[in-house]
């Protein structure tokens, strides 16, 4: 169940507030993210000391393609909050490394999977994909089978990367009935 307040940005510096299944979700502008999270972490009434996770979502049809979601948790008040920023491929987001040290690997994973750059992070590394992998897997235009095929060749004793050759096109079965 969504309840949304769209015209809230006259009073507070947020774009939109939604409430969904008793968790509040706040849409922010990416410029003021660091300041708002700093307030949320240290203010005595909020105390969101733990950053649970950072996830990225790709909406390929929208103009601003990506949404980055931050889940924060307050142990003292037993409360969770979700913060969202809407970005596209050319916007770099402020890193939360100074506030939450755990944000380092979560941001690395978002760089690895979506290609979104974070500021003041001088070593965004590819965590989950192969060494020397090109492309950003979790974007919706990256195919499920990928582009390269890896084999270990016993003759040269090296790993070979070939272009992928599928004998059959990847089929997506969509059984959704047209009248439902």
Partner 1 sequence: MVLLKPKKLNKLIKNFTINFGPQHPAAHGVLRLLIELSGEVVLNVTPHIGLLHRGTEKLVEYKTYLQALPYFDRLDYVSMMSQEHTYCLVIEKLLNLQIPKRSKFIRTIFSELTRVLNHLLAIGCHAMDVGAMTPMLWVFEEREKLMEFYERVSGARMHSVYFRPGGIIHDIPKGLLNDIFLFINQFRTKLLEIELLLNNNRIWVQRLVNIGIISKIDCQNWGFSGVMLRGSGICWDIRKSEPYEIYSSLKFTIPVGKNGDCYDRYLIRIYEIKQSLVIIEQCLQQIPGGLIKQDNLKIIPPFKNEFKLSMEALIHHFKIYTNGFNVPITEAYLSTEAPKGEFGIYLLSDNSNKPYRCKIRAPGFAHLQALNFMCKYHMIADVVTIIGTQDIVFGEIDR
CB closer to partner 1, 153 vs 177: 177
CB closer to partner 1, 10 vs 152: 152
CB closer to partner 1, 90 vs 123: 123
Q: Which of 71, 63, 65 is nearest to 139 (CA)?
A: 65
Asked if 58 and 140 touch (Cβ cutoff 8 Å), the reply is: yes
CB closer to partner 1, 31 vs 62: 62
List phi, psi (to 5°) of 141.
-90, 5
* Shortest distance in whole angstroms from residue 27 CB to partner 1: 13
Query: What is the DSSP secondary-structure string of 34-59?
Result: HHHHHHHHHSTTT---EEEEEEEEE-
* Shortest distance in whole angstroms from residue 29 CB to partner 1: 21
What would the two tokens of residue 89 be?
Answer: 């491929």
* Shortest distance in whole angstroms from residue 10 CB to partner 1: 26
CB closer to partner 1, 50 vs 124: 50
Asked if 96 and 37 touch (Cβ cutoff 8 Å), the reply is: yes
Quote the CA–CA distance of 138 and 119 in Å, as a whole number: 21
* Shortest distance in whole angstroms from residue 74 CB to partner 1: 10
* Shortest distance in whole angstroms from residue 166 CB to partner 1: 15
End-to-end CA distance of the chain: 22
Strand order in the sheet with 79-87: 2-5, 16-20, 23-28, 79-87, 66-74, 50-58
Q: Which residues bind partner 1 (CB under 8 A)?
A: 1-2, 20-21, 23, 49-53, 55, 57-58, 69, 71, 75, 78, 80, 82, 100-102, 104-106, 126-130, 137-138, 142, 144, 172, 175-177, 180
């Amino acid at each position: 169940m969504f309840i949304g307040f769209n015209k809230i940005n006259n009073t507070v510096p947020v774009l939109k507030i939604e409430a969904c299944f008793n968790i509040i979700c706040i849409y922010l502008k990416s410029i003021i993210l660091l300041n708002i999270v700093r307030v949320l972490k240290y203010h005595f009434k909020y105390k969101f000391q733990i950053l649970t996770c950072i996830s990225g979502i790709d909406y390929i049809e929208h103009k601003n393609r990506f949404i980055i979601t931050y889940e924060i948790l307050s142990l003292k008040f037993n409360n969770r909050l979700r913060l969202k920023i809407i970005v596209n491929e050319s916007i770099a987001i402020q890193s939360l490394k100074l506030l939450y040290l755990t944000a380092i690997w979560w941001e690395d994973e978002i760089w690895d999977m979506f290609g979104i750059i974070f500021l003041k992070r001088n070593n965004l590394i590819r965590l989950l994909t192969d060494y020397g992998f090109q492309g950003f897997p979790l974007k919706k235009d990256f195919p499920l089978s990928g582009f390269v095929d890896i084999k270990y060749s016993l003759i040269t004793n090296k790993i070979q990367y070939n272009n992928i050759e599928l004998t059959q096109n990847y089929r997506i079965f969509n059984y959704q009935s047209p009248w439902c």
